[in-house]
Every structure is written in structure tokens, then in C-alpha cells.
Amino acid sequence: MAAIAAVTVLSLAACATDEPAAGPSGSASAATGSGTGDQSKFFVQADYDAELALLDAAPTGPADKPWEQVLNPTMVDTAKFKKAGPHKICFSNAALNNPWRQVGFKTMQAEVEAQKSRIKEFVHVDAEGKDQKQIADINDLLGKGCDALIVSPNTTATLTPAVEAACKAGLPVVVFDRGVDTKCPVTFINPIGGYGFGHVGAEFVSQKMKPGGKVLALRILPGVDVLETRWSAAKVAFDKAKVDVVGVEFTDGDPAKTKKIVDDYIQRYGTIDGVWMDAGAVAVAAVEAFQDAGKPVPPMNGEDQLDFLKIWKDKKLTAIAPTYPTYQWRTPIIAALRILDGQQVSNPWKLPQPTVTQDNLDQYLDAGMPPLHYAMCGCTDLPGYPQRWK
Amino acid sequence: MQTVQPRSLPLRLPRMRPGGVLPILAILAVLLVLVGIRQPDFLAPQSLMSFLGRSAPIILLAAGQYFVIVSGEFDLSVGSLVTAQVVVAARLIDSDPSRTWPVVLLLLAFGALVGLVNGLITTRLRVPSFITTLGMFLILVGAVYLWSDGAPKGGLSEEFRRFGRRAFEDVPLLGRVPYALLVLVVLAVAAVLLMRSDFGRTLVAVGDNPRTAELSGVRVWRTRTFAFILSGLAAAVAAILLGGYSGVSFQAGAGLEFGAITAVVLGGVALGGGRGAVVGAMLGALTLELLFALMNFYGVSGALRSTVQGGIILLAVAVSATRSSSR
């Protein structure tokens, strides 16, 4: 009885699958070209084209300080915000809930310390990943006499009215990382973005793997714009290269789940010839899945987290690491101070987005730093390095 | 939960028919045949060994959960306990190999302590175990989040990770035998021996009818508390193996409590206690893992796993309820 029950459950489950990308033995790939499924509804062709063009653009600004560089600058006047220092700078932070934000925030704190002659007070409020808290936080900060407000929004649409209210209060607002749907901030700082990230990884994987090989795409979760853009650019690249994408799976950014998924695919297909991922947090888990299965690690991309760079070098992987650099956390402080000086700043402030390749790997691999540190922190010249980041 | 049976306990226990392991063995055999048809390579020693190694943590958790369930309680805290253990281990070891063994001992002590607290609150303060362990689950999730600022820090040493990741290489016939499998076999034998000892009989008696057990001189609270401690210890070992397998993760233990309960129920153990064998619970976990492997081979989305688990719990409990009422 129970046996029949279990088998019934199984066959029901088997019937319920309608995911074209996950279909076994290539039946799906014949129908949809390369198994990448429909394009994300977040995909905007014009933005995609613009970001890919930026990948080749030459930045202006000091070459050794990418966090001060700008791609295709369009300067805006800030004379009306000019104010005598030292200043009180306030920061409404979406969250500190992942290593990327932790490294970034430490970098920002160090930048504040480096500029301490000009900043009399730095107020940081952590919204803990909650939109409602961040709306309240921004509202509270407006009554605290801040000279400038920095916002790293938790979500785009929901935080827009709060940012607009801050602009109306008359103080200069600087937004970075994720954006808002309003032009009212003095500047919006971020690197090239998700399309650039996804494209670099996908192009590398499709070029380096054996022709006609099988690619596994690992995504953190659906529905987040910065991640959707990464995948949609990769999809375009894979479709163009006519690569057989045998699976697009969500890992929740969890190494245990990732390792299991990759292992499942190795078991199911015998071998996987390329791995693309939209964020590097689980890259090492994917590498380990191949190692533990006794298979060669295929060409893959990760991110600039040190655990991945280390295993890349130690195991001589064929890899690439597009980045979403944490040095962007320095820029808002620099921008706020320039605005309060009445200097022109670029809006938008597009930061360069370097890629770690085989050729410059050694330059970014610092064995003394912890495994979850991000190499592209631009923090080596800041006070408290390296202890602050350990 | 059940009416007092006129039969005396020692006579009934050796042949617990409704809680037998035959049904689960039958399901396991059917699944093995299905896997063999779809993916014959899977049954080769090499991949079978690696499958067993990968399944060791959930099988151990099922054994731990069995002790608690057969004594008439629940332990919903094991999943978050595993997560907490992995995160704590990473932070304490901080990639320093010399701290491996002290941290392993600390994790075992921590697991036992959480079990002790669960047990004492349930038995002495008379809080239903469902609520006690749900509370513990939330406390651990919150504490880990607070302690780590929401992102895991530090790293596990290779020495720590080898338990869950490495294997004896080049074993004749079998190929690669994971350490995790060895740990599993040793602890499984220990669990079976424990259930055959006086303690095991007492545990089942307590689950079957606590009142009768109490009247015949068993200290029910002590027996049940011990069951919770065993579950906590199983979670500690599972955490060591899981952390070893996949490294630091904030979701290392997510959902494991339901996996373990599903496995126990699938293995023919009655919710509410008193019936079922620890071997059944462990086979239940193995069957569940095999079912997931089979789903994978047929290309079924991994997202359906929890749906399947839910279906199994409902079906298995319904089936066992019909059987026990007609007993």
C-alpha cells in the first residue's frame, strides 16, 4: 500500500514537470534552441546594448583609483549644495546580510575614517533587508540634521517615494548599488551592471568549452533585477553561441544545495562541460562537486571572492571572474564630499567593472585575506587594512 | 493516544508487526529497480558508495528523530541546530586546523545540551514538544543570525571537512568508501544495539503508553529527555558531516527536520510513539533520498521535493492510521 502510494507520488511529480530547461536528454533543447527558456521580463535591449558598449569604454579619472573613475561622464552642477565642513553624512543601508555587503560596508567605514578631517559624524542605519524599515529609516534621518544622505535601496520601486521625499527636504542625496525610479538624487553610482557581468561569464564559458558541450547555469533566485539582468545577458550569449544549456537551476546562494544540484547533473548527464553562475558565492561548491565526483572541473565563471580565486589558482582551473566591485562603497562618500564642496560630479556615475582573468589573477589573490573577502574592494590603501576586513 | 492493551509489554515488543520494516524494504526495492532501469550506472559500487555517503547525514537525523518520535514526542529543532552548528564551527575554527578536534567535541556537547534543554522543557515544564522544539528552532535561527550579522564568517579547516568529504580510496570491490558512510555504519549499529537494550524497550514502552510505563516504575521524563539528547547528538554528527560535505552555509540544515520526520514516518514508525524500528526509520531516510535521486534522473524539478515530502507524510500517516485501527 505504502509502496503504491510512493510510486503514485513519484509519477504525479513526474507529470507535473513542465520546465523546458530542465528536461532530460536534450528533448527540451531541440525545441527551444539552446535550452535557455524564454527571455527574462526584466530584459531591456537598450540597457543591454548600453552596458555591453560600456565594457569597452575607457574610463576617465585616476587609473590606480577605479572607485574615482567614471565611464562616459555627464557632469552636473552642485553649487547649490556647497557648504562649509566638517560634515555630518548619513547612510541608509538596505542590509548587511551577505559577505558582499559586509566587505563593502567595512570599505565605506574605512573611507569615512580616511576622510575624518572632513566628516564630523557618520550615521549608519541598517534596514535589515526590509523595505518598510528603510522607508522609516530615511524618514528618521531627515530629522537628524544630515548634510548629505547616502541611500543603498533595498528594492527599487518601493523605496522611490522615500528617496523623493529626501530630495524634497533639500539635502543632497546620493544613491548607489541598486537604483530608484526617480532622477531627483544628485547622482546614482553603480558599476556597469548585470548585463556586463552575465555576458562576460557566458562568453568565456561558451568560448572555452568543447563545441556542442553541455552547460549548467546556476542562479541564486528569480525576480531580482540585478540578477535577472545577469542571466538574461548570459542567455543571449548562449543562444548566440548555440550552446546546449542542459539546466538552469536556482541555488538560493547555498553551497550545500549547489553541490547537490551540480552532483545531480553530473550523475544525470555523466559530464558537464561548462558552468555559468550569476554570483560567485557558490562557485567553490560547484568546483568541489566536480572534484568529489572525480571529474575534471569544466570552464566556469565565479566572482572575485577569495575562496574562488584561491581554488582557481591551486587547481589551475579554466575560469574567469566578472565582478560587481565592492569598491563602489567608497565612491558615495567621495561623491558626497565633492557635492558639499560644490564640485561637479557625474550623474550617472558609472564605475568600471574589472574582470579577473588568468592574466591578472595573481594581482588579486591575497592569501592573507579570509575566504569570503572580495578582492575588488579597492581597500588596500585604506586605514585599518588588512585587519578591518578579517 | 492508545488504549491500554491487555497483553504484557515484554511479550509484545519483540514482534511489533505494524511497525515492521518489510513495507519500507519493498518500497526501497521498487525504487532501486526503477533507478536501475533509468540509470544503470547509478548502481555501480562507485556511485552507490558516494550516494550512501551523501545520504549519511539525513539517515543519522532520521535515527535521532526516531528516538524522539517513538517515545511519543517531536523534534522540530534539528534543522536549525545543524545550521547553527555549521556556522558556529566555521566561526570558531576560522580555518585553523589545530582547532578541529576541540570544536568537534564542542559541537557534540552543544548538540547534547540543546537536546537536554528541549527534553527538560518538554517533560518538566510540560510544554508540548511540538511547541518546545519549534521555539528552539526560532531561538537558534535568531541567535545564529544575530551572532553572524546574517552572513557566515570564518571557514572550516580541511581536517574538519574531511569527515564529510573524503573517503578511503581504492578499497577492493567498493572503490571509494566515504568516511561519512563509515560513521553512519558505526552509529547505525550502535542505534540498533541501543534499541535492543533495556533502554530501547523502555523508550518504546514510554511512547506506547506513558501512564502504564510510569506505573510500572519507568521515569518517563528521564527516558524522553534522553531521547531528545540523542536527537541533539545526531544533529551534531549530521552537522559535522554536512559542513564537511558542502562547507559553511547559512542554509546547511534548512528543512532537515521535515526530511527526518518524513523518513521516520515512511519507515513505518507511528507518530505519537510506541511502534516502529530504528532500522525502519533509517531505511526510510535512504528511500527518501533514493526517491529524490530518481526524480533527478527523470528530470523532475528539485523544487518539487518538499511537495513530495508533504505527500509522503500525509499518505504514510493515513496508511498507518488505517492499519493500526484495524489491528
Where are the domains positioned within chain B? Answer: 13-325
Which of A5, A255, A258 lies nearest to residue B319, judging by beta carbons? Answer: A5
**pLDDT at position B18:** 56
Tell me which chain B residues have a C-beta less than 8 angstroms from the C-beta of A17.
299-301, 304
Q: Of A11-25, A215-229, B125-139, B152-166, which gets the smallest average pLDDT? A: A11-25
- Tell whether A148 and A199 lie within a shared domain: no
**pLDDT at position A31:** 36
The three cell numbers locating residue A3: 509502496
Contacts A–B by Cβ distance under 8 A: 135
The three cell numbers locating residue B125: 515544564
pLDDT at A34 over 80: no
B16: pLDDT confidence band, cut at 50, 70 and 90?
Answer: very low
Tell me which chain A residues have a C-beta less than 8 angstroms from the C-beta of B95.
370-371
Q: How many C-beta atoms lie closer than 10 Å to residue A268's C-beta?
A: 20
* Assigned domain for A58 exists: no
Angle, CA A389 vertex, CA A93 and CA B144 arms, to 5°: 65
**pLDDT at position A23:** 33
User: How large is the average pLDDT for residues A176-181?
Assistant: 90
For residues B274, B276, B281, B282, the Cα torsion angle rounded to the nearest 10 degrees is 120
A205: pLDDT confidence band, cut at 50, 70 and 90?
Answer: very high
* Assigned domain for A386 exists: no
- Tell whether A225 and A164 lie within a shared domain: no
Nearest CA of chain B to the CA of A220: how many Å? 13
The number of domains in chain A is 2
Question: What is the average pLDDT score of chain A?
Answer: 88
Domain B13-325 of CATH type 2.40.128: no
Which of B39, B247, B291 lies nearest to residue A6, judging by beta carbons? Answer: B291
* Assigned domain for A361 exists: no
Residue B37: Cβ-neighbour burial (10 angstroms; 0-12, 13-18, 19+) = exposed
pLDDT at A8 over 80: no
B155: pLDDT confidence band, cut at 50, 70 and 90?
Answer: confident
Tell me which chain B residues have a C-beta less than 8 angstroms from the C-beta of A133.
none
Question: In chain A, what percentage of residues exceed pLDDT 90?
Answer: 68
pLDDT at B9 over 50: no
User: Residue A288, CB half-sphere, CA atoms under 13 Å: how many?
Assistant: 24
Q: Are A9 and B315 in contact (CB < 8 Å)?
A: yes
ipTM: 0.72
Which of A23, A101, A270 lies nearest to residue B299, judging by beta carbons? Answer: A23
Q: Is beta strand A355-356 parallel, antiparallel or unpaired with respect to A319-322?
A: antiparallel
**pLDDT at position B11:** 44
User: How large is the average pLDDT for residues A252-263?
Assistant: 85
pLDDT at A6 over 60: no
Nearest CA of chain B to the CA of A272: how many Å? 15
**pLDDT at position B17:** 53
Q: Are B151 and A284 in contact (CB < 8 Å)?
A: no
**pLDDT at position B324:** 63
Q: Are B302 and A249 in contact (CB < 8 Å)?
A: yes
- Integer CA distances (angstroms), B115 to A23, A172, B75, B76, in order: 43, 54, 9, 11
Nearest residue of A to residue B242 by CA position?
A256
- Tell whether A246 and A317 lie within a shared domain: yes
Question: What is the rounded CA–CA span in Å between residue A96 and residue A118?
Answer: 26
* Assigned domain for A165 exists: yes
- Tell whether A205 and A302 lie within a shared domain: yes
Task: For residue range B238-283, list pLDDT tens digits in order.
Answer: 999 999 998 888 888 888 999 999 999 999 898 888 889 999 999 9
User: How large is the average pLDDT for residues B129-149?
Assistant: 90
**pLDDT at position B252:** 84
- Tell whether A180 and A158 lie within a shared domain: yes
Residue of A8, A130, A267 for testing the chain B interface, max B β-carbons within 10 Å: A267
Nearest CA of chain B to the CA of A342: how many Å? 37
CATH number at residue A254: 3.40.50.2300
Residue B311 pairs in a beta bridge with: none
**pLDDT at position B12:** 45
Q: Are B298 and A24 in contact (CB < 8 Å)?
A: yes
* Assigned domain for A159 exists: yes
- Tell whether A102 and A172 lie within a shared domain: yes
Residue of B49, B179, B245 for testing the chain A interface, max A β-carbons within 10 Å: B245
Question: What is the rounded CA–CA span in Å between residue A85 and residue A91?
Answer: 18
Nearest to residue B273, comparing CAs of B204, B319, B216?
B204
B16 and B275 Cβ atoms separated by less than 8 Å: yes
* Assigned domain for A357 exists: no
- Tell whether A286 and A221 lie within a shared domain: yes
Task: For residue range B189-239, list pLDDT tens digits in order.
Answer: 999 999 999 999 999 999 999 999 999 999 999 999 999 999 999 999 999
- Tell whether A75 and A160 lie within a shared domain: yes
User: How large is the average pLDDT for residues B3-23?
Assistant: 55
Q: What is the 3-state secondary structure (H, E, C) of chain B?
A: CCCCCCCCHHHHCCCCHHHCCHHHHHHHHHHHHHHHHHCHHHHCHHHHHHHHHHHHHHHHHHHHHHHHHHCCCCCCCHHHHHHHHHHHHHHHHCCCHHHHHHHHHHHHHHHHHHHHHHHHHHHHCCCCHHHHHHHHHHHHHHHHHHHHCCCCCCCCCHHHHHHHHCEEEEECCCEEEEHHHHHHHHHHHHHHHHHHCHHHHHHHHHHHCHHHHHHCCCCHHHHHHHHHHHHHHHHHHHHHHHHHHHCCCCCCCCCHHHHHHHHHHHCCCCCCCCCCCHHHHHHHHHHHHHHHHHHHHCCCCHHHHHHHHHHHHHHHHHHHHHHHHCC
User: How large is the average pLDDT for residues A241-261?
Assistant: 87
A24 and B299 Cβ atoms separated by less than 8 Å: yes
* Assigned domain for A56 exists: no
Q: Of A20-24, A110-114, A349-353, B84-88, which gets the smallest average pLDDT? A: A20-24
Largest CA distance in chain B: 60
Angle, CA A110 vertex, CA A255 and CA B150 arms, to 5°: 30
Nearest CA of chain B to the CA of A54: how many Å? 32
Q: Are B247 and A285 in contact (CB < 8 Å)?
A: yes
Question: What is the rounded CA–CA span in Å between residue B47 and residue B61?
Answer: 22
pLDDT at B84 over 90: yes
- Tell whether A33 and A151 lie within a shared domain: no
* Assigned domain for A148 exists: yes
User: How large is the average pLDDT for residues A149-168?
Assistant: 93
Q: Of A15-29, A148-162, B42-56, B85-99, which gets the smallest average pLDDT? A: A15-29
- Integer CA distances (angstroms), A383 to A110, A115, A116, A156, A268, in order: 6, 10, 11, 33, 50
Nearest residue of B to residue A291 by CA position?
B165
- Tell whether A245 and A226 lie within a shared domain: yes
Last residue within a domain, chosen from A303, A322, A341: A322
Question: What is the rounded CA–CA span in Å between residue A141 and residue A124?
Answer: 10
Tell me which chain A residues have a C-beta less than 8 angstroms from the C-beta of B316.
2, 5
pLDDT at A16 over 70: no
Last residue within a domain, chosen from A322, A342, A375: A322
Q: Are B251 and A257 in contact (CB < 8 Å)?
A: yes
Which of B249, B296, B319 lies nearest to residue A2, judging by beta carbons? Answer: B319
**pLDDT at position B325:** 60
Task: For residue range B108-121, list pLDDT tens digits in order.
Answer: 999 999 999 999 99
B150: pLDDT confidence band, cut at 50, 70 and 90?
Answer: low
pLDDT at A138 over 90: yes
Q: Are A256 and B297 in contact (CB < 8 Å)?
A: no
Nearest to residue B162, comparing CAs of B97, B112, B105?
B97
A294: pLDDT confidence band, cut at 50, 70 and 90?
Answer: confident
Question: What is the rounded CA–CA span in Å between residue A240 and residue A2?
Answer: 49
Q: Are B149 and A19 in contact (CB < 8 Å)?
A: no
Q: How many C-beta atoms lie closer than 10 Å to residue A278's C-beta?
A: 29
Angle, CA A310 vertex, CA A306 and CA A312 arms, to 5°: 115
pTM of the model: 0.78
Nearest CA of chain B to the CA of A228: how many Å? 19
B293 and B242 Cβ atoms separated by less than 8 Å: no
**pLDDT at position B171:** 85
Domain that holds residue A314: 25-48+194-322
The three cell numbers locating residue A272: 558537464
- Tell whether A285 and A299 lie within a shared domain: yes
Query: At how many degrees (to 10) do helices A255-269 and B278-297 cross?
Result: 60
